[in-house]
Amino acid sequence: MAQARAWQRMLSGRRLDLLDPTPFDIEIEDIAHGLAFVARWNGQTKGDWPYSVAEHSLLVDDIFARLSPATPQERLTALLHDAPEYVIGDMISPVKSAVGPGYEELDDRLAAAIHRRFGLPSVTPTRLKRRIKQADRISAWLEAVHIAGFARSEADRFFGAPDLDMIADLTISLRPPAEVRTAFLDRHATLLEACDA
């Protein structure tokens, strides 16, 4: 019996093996394109455009930078925190729980290859992971309240009540995927250049 195909052809021409990904098959253009077309909240958001994982990643980086001083490498890690979703998609937390540890293992393998590709540690240090998760939860709260139909009390219960003063000027952007892709690529380039400085 033939073995099932476990790779995907990327628009760059790269062939990414999902079970054994290598940094050589990772291109930021593929990541930005994929994330710009993957909708968060399973697409159940208000507005004329889907709220993409790329847009979410930009917001997480913005929040992460506000929470405490961060190095360019830490911010790049925050920007790429959901990067594996460019090829495996975004699953809401209840589905991830139902799928079990297989999803997390796949996500971890892809994240390690992506991190190595851009000069980051394969495994994000626990302390940094907690800081990024804090920014991620604040982003989820903003998204839940502003575009996903949650009441504040409900968002507080699921994601924790954020410091409203710290996020008062932040807005949720809904843009065409091509614009989000460009913004993600620009942010990545800026952070990568700062890492190399």
Task: Give the pLDDT confidence of 77-127 residue by residue, as tens digits.
Answer: 999 999 999 998 887 777 777 777 778 888 999 999 999 999 999 999 999
Q: Is the pLDDT of residue 161 over 70?
A: yes
41: left (phi over 0), alpha (psi -120 to 50) or beta: left
For position 97, what pLDDT does the model report?
75
DSSP H helices, the chain, are 28-37, 53-67, 72-79, 85-88, 93-99, 101-117, 126-146, 152-159, 164-167, 177-196
Residues 150 and 148: their CA atoms lie apart, in Å, by 6
Q: Please give the C-alpha separations between residue 73 and each of 31, 35, 69, 132, in angstroms, as whole numbers.
A: 18, 20, 12, 12
In the structure encoding, which two tokens stand for residue 53, read together? 């994982």
For position 99, what pLDDT does the model report?
73
Entry pTM: 0.94
Residue 13 vs residue 197, higher pLDDT? 13
Q: How far is CA 23 from the centre of its chain?
A: 18
Q: Is the pLDDT of residue 2 over 70?
A: no
The backbone torsions φ and ψ at residue 46, rounded to the nearest 5 degrees and listed phi first, read: -75, 155
